[in-house]
Amino acid sequence: MASLSCSLIIATYNWPAALDLCLQSVLRQVVMPQEVLIADDGSGEETRALIECYQQQFPVPLIHLWQPDHGFQKTKILNKAIARARQPYLVQIDGDVILHPRFVQDHLALAKRGKFLAGGRINLSEQNTQEVLQNATTHFSLSAIFKTSNLFNGLRIGFLRHLLADRYKLKGKNKYYAKGCNMSFWRADLLAVNGYNECYTGWGPEDSELAARLMNNGVRKRALKMGGVCFHLHHPYVDASRKAINEELLRTTIKDNVTYCQSGLDQYL
């Protein structure tokens, strides 16, 4: 589905240097999204100024959605972005990743009705991240990828990408595995389950809980492996004080076959 129209949603919070590299990598996409929405969970003035600068040169609409900083409320700002998106297919990343030039193309090529895509990432070390930020790196050579700890998240091999799409991390402990820095879905499927569960505040598996509701509602997961490559900049982990509570929400969704969250994106439509 290479001709499919999509919106790219980028979640960010107070790291303009990382967002700068992320947006540079968006500009290098072989297949551009029809619009880019930055879901900003309360960043300061420096981020706003950066986005305004990019808006003057961006080839597609670059929309900045901002909410006041009241702690980690990523689910809320993502729902606002999903509600605002105008394309039928949504690709979602975080503002601390750098995309391979064929990232969007890979997502669209594997998009299928009744499915959503869950991809991975290369985690850059603290030292590599400092070098990337210092040198404004947006291109990673094969030799650089071979030096990382999760090599196979950095390779693009077409026949393996299609072979693994309906086989990789679909059962057992990985059945609901999903990372918001590399996912894509049909907007209509998100509307049907009411988007992200805003009972999630603070860090937690909100992406896996969304994946679980989609799957409970009959939307099958596909893996994006050997494609959809992105490089994740190292940073200290956020406040995980609500981790146990948030993980219990995921267990409840799975156990009770929940398909619809009560506090979700319908309030923004």
Give the angle subtended at the CA of 57 by the CAs of 100 and 233, to the nearest 5°.
35
Residue 137 lies in a domain: yes
Interval 17-30: pLDDT, tens? 999 999 999 999 99
Residue 13 lies in a domain: yes
What's the confidence (pLDDT) of residue 154? 87
Residue 264 lies in a domain: no
When the pLDDT of each residue in the chain is averaged and rounded to a whole number, the result is 94
Residue 100 lies in a domain: yes
Residue 132 lies in a domain: yes
Residue 174 lies in a domain: yes
What's the confidence (pLDDT) of residue 53? 98
For residues 100-125, average pLDDT: 96
Split at pLDDT 50, 70, 90, the class of 239 is: low
The range of the structural domain enclosing residue 78 comes to 6-192+219-238
Split at pLDDT 50, 70, 90, the class of 262 is: very high
Q: Tally the domains of the chain.
A: 1
Q: How much is the CA Rg of the chain, to the nearest whole Å?
A: 17
Residue 22 lies in a domain: yes
What's the confidence (pLDDT) of residue 142? 79
Residue 227 lies in a domain: yes
The values of phi and psi at residue 157, to 5°, are: -135, 110
Q: What is the CATH number of the domain that holds 40?
A: 3.90.550.10
- The pTM of this model reads 0.96
Query: Does the pLDDT of residue 123 top 80, yes or no?
Result: yes
Split at pLDDT 50, 70, 90, the class of 164 is: very high
